[in-house]
Structure formats: C-alpha cells, structure tokens
Structure 1
Amino acid sequence: MSADVLKASTGRDWDGWFVLLDAWGAIERGHTEIARHLTDDLGVDGWYAQSITVGYEQERGLREVGQSSQGDWQASGNRTVEAPVARCEAAFTDADVRRRWLPGSEFSLRTHREGKTLSADYAGGRLSVRFTPKGGAKTQVSLEHTKLADAEAVAAYKAFWKERLAALKTLLEK
C-alpha cells in the first residue's frame, strides 16, 4: 500500500506510523498486541491495523515478506471467476475436475464447509480456500498456502498460484 493511500485512510503515512509505534515500544511487543493497540487505543480499522502491523514488523526486521507472525511461510492468491460457488468448489473437491487445472496427486481434503471454505494438504503444505459469491454467477476464489519452507518457496508458489488460478478461471468459464 502506498504512503499516500495509507495517509488518506488512516491519517498517517508509513513513516508516521513507524515513529508512533516505535515511541510506544512496539519493537518489544508481539503482533497481536500491536494490532490490538492500533484498533483499541488508536481507533484504526481492523484491516488497516493488520496492514500497519505487518508493515511495521517487516520494516523493523521482525519478519520477512511472506512470513506469518508465527514465523511460518505462506503464499496467497485470488481470482474472480464467472461461475457459481458450487462449480468453483467442485474444481477442488472433484478429483477429475481438479486434475484438469491443478497438477499433482498430493491434494488431500481435510475439511469442507460447503459453499464457504475448504482446507487440504497440498505439496507439503496446507491449503485454505474461501469461496465468496460476487453476485450473479461470479465467485471470488481466495487461497492461502501455508507451512512453506522459506521465502524462495513463497515466491515460487505466488507465481504458481497466479498461473493455476488463471487456469482454473479458463476451465470454469468455458
């Protein structure tokens, strides 16, 4: 997020937030405590509080891009598809359909909340997928691939999921 967008939305740019958080002693505090301070004490909207917290942690060397506050590595992606939720969901749950856009047989479904979310083991990590109806027959498919090995794996899977979600979109919009 640009400094201008952040300032327009929160009243401070990145440098302003970093100075304020340094003065509060954020460098000695955990992710949850920083985010809670931003929302509860400073009135920052939850989404911006998370963005500011992550940005602060990355700027101060407390975590790298792609690294969670717990220290594990994760990549994410999303794509809006012109298909209903059930069809998007079937692209993950039906092995025959899944093979047409997602290579490999290492996909193992763990949990499934029909019409909402699913999780699976995939490629040595954990895949969490959310399906969000976008009106009509459109669905936003958002995924997070966690438990990755390192920053290199994050970069590789970001590119991989961008390509695979494009393939999913092409398949479902035929």
Structure 2
Amino acid sequence: MTNQRSFKARVRTRMAKTGESYTTARRQLIKRATEPSAKPATAGSTTEPSAEPAAAQTERIADDLLRARTGRGWAEWFALLDAAAATEQTHTQIARHLVVEHEVPGWWAQTITVGYEQARGLRAPGQRRGGGFEANASRTVAVPAARLFAAFTDETARTSWLPDVEVRVRTATAPRSFRADWAGGPTRIVVGIEAVGASKARVSILHEKLTGAEQAAELKAYWRERLAALKALLEANGDHR
C-alpha cells in the first residue's frame, strides 16, 4: 500500500503541474517510465560500457549497486518477477509492474527487466526481446548539454569526430535527443543527452536493427572509441561554458 500511495502522490504532483486529469497523468508517468531508454546510470557506476561486449545485465550491474538503487538484489527481483509470472508478460508489462507495484525508477525498471529476460532465456545479451540485436555506449563529457547536442546535429562538428560516415537525420529535439539512419543502411542510432549540472552532460547511444551478436559487438567497441574521441575533442577545446 505504501508504494501505491507514493505513486498516487506522484500522479497528483504531475496533475498540479500540468493540469492533466488523474487518468492522463497516471498514464503519462507509466509510459515515460516503461519506454525503452538509452539512458545510462550515474557516472562512475558499473553501467559504463564494459570491456566485454554484449555482457549479461547481471554482469554489467553489480548486485550491491542494484540493491543500493532499488532496495533489492538480482536474485530477489527475479524471485518477485517469477511469482508474478513475468515470463508470460511483454517487456513493457514487466517494466510497468516494477514501476507501479514496486516503485522502481523508470531506468532501473528497464535494467531489471532486461536482466530478468536474459536470465530466463527470453533474450540474449545484446539482443532485443523478439530477436533483433543492438549496441550501446555512453560517456560523460565536461561541456553543457547544448554543446554536446550540437556535436551531433551540426554536420561540420559531427564529421570532426565521426568522419566518413553517412548519417541521415530523422529527428532532433534540442538538447535532449537525436535519431538518425546510419551509413545509408537499415540500422539506426538513437542518442540521448542528459545535463549533469550546468557544465557537464551525459550522452548515450543505442545502435538498433543490427544483424547479429557479432555486428553488435563490433559496433559497441566502435561507439566506445568514438565517444572517447568526442570527449577528448570537446574537452580539449575548453568549451565548458
């Protein structure tokens, strides 16, 4: 009951801010929390890109870190989800259950859901539920979010750290998100940018629609290297305003 009361309080807070009805505010909170996201955990945690590509979620996220952020470790979350017959549910249904019934923050609900799906054989590491593969990487850069966003949206700036690649922009919402078709092919990148104070921002990249685990591993390594180059370039320019 405590979790339900807390969630209802969040709904009412949103109602007060947006003027939405209770039903609409509740739906929007659940939707925002259960949509797949490229957002990483806090800087310095074990969620930074691993040296081993396509590692299982339970290897990427330490049990003590998960417990500190959500109140339970992997085994406890898996037992709770088994009891809720989560293997028979979709990814969104599992994440929604964690958000609504257990008050797990949205990104951590996604993390637990992916770990559970991997542990129960519903997806392989690096694989989306349903069969597709993807690669991801993230970096924290000591520049404002707007500057980091421009490094993707401005073609000249982009080619300085991402050369010899054809990128066809699909959507760009300053300074938070950028989506583009990659190299003229069927794959796509989804970029999320989050401000971490006034002069620091975190960028995360999800490369979707990959053909298999080998391509996912190659692109994971590629994006780790490219984001390191981006960080070095921006920070070397001293553009911290």
**TM-score normalised by L of structure 2:** 0.64
Structure having the larger proportion of residues in strand: 1
User: Which residues in structure 2 correspond to 1:54-133 (within 5 Å)?
Assistant: 54-123=114-183, 124=185, 125-133=187-195
1:100 alignment partner, SS class: helix
Structure 2: tracts of 5 or more residues without a match: 1-60, 237-241
Letter in 1 for 2:64: D
Letter in 1 for 2:155: A
Q: Give the CA RMSD over aligned residues.
A: 2.1
2:208 alignment partner, SS class: strand
Q: Does the CA-based 8 Å contact 2:138-2:227 persist in structure 1?
A: yes
Deviation at 1:126, TM superposition (A): 1.0
Aligned length: 174
Deviations 1:127-154 (A, max 9, x none): 1222222233322222211111111111
Letter in 2 for 1:100: S
1:167 pairs, out of 229, 236, 241, with 229
**TM-score normalised by L of structure 1:** 0.86
2:131 alignment partner, SS class: coil
Q: Does the CA-based 8 Å contact 2:152-2:158 persist in structure 1?
A: yes
Letter in 1 for 2:203: V
1:105 alignment partner, SS class: coil
Structure 1 residues 66 and 137 mapped into 2: Cα distance closer, same or farther (>3 Å)?
same
Structure 1: tracts of 5 or more residues without a match: none
Letter in 2 for 1:34: I
Matched-pair identity in %: 51
Matched with 2:105 is 45
Bigger mean CA deviation after superposition, 147-156 or 89-98: 89-98
Q: Does the CA-based 8 Å contact 2:123-2:130 persist in structure 1?
A: no
